[in-house]
Amino acid sequence: MASAKQTVRIKDEEHLLSADDIIAVARRETPRRLNAYFVEIEGRRFPPKQLLRGAIRTAQSFDTGVAVRALKSLGFTIVEINKATREAPG
């Protein structure tokens, strides 16, 4: 079953996205360097902006907060790297 599409707004552009669109990006791309947040998909950790940019293919600049909100709205769990590091055993 395909996931539901949601509207993501970046500046003056609106884009229809689904979780399936994000997963498709994760399957075709290699994860880039992580900074503050990541989304884990199929055992690989991706920066939120990489996933969103790959799905919408916009030239507009946007910050990580936009990507985090969009991915959360699609049902993804966003992990803050500092928090994940503090909670890691050992």
pLDDT at 83: 65
Domain-wise residue ranges, the chain: 6-87
**Cα–Cα dist 28/61, whole Å:** 22
Report the chain's mean pLDDT, rounded to a whole number. Answer: 89
pLDDT for 32 equals 96
* Angstrom distance (rounded) from CA 70 to CA 66: 6
Task: Tell me how far CA of residue 13 lies from CA of 9, 10, 25, 79, in angstroms.
Answer: 6, 5, 20, 27
Please state the pTM of the whole predicted model. Answer: 0.86
Q: Which of the four pLDDT bands, split at 50, 70 and 90, describes residue 73?
A: very high
* pLDDT tens digits, one per residue of 32-55: 999 999 999 999 999 999 999 999
From the list 88, 50, 43, the residue with the least C-alpha distance to 68 is 50
CB 22 within 8 A of CB 68: no
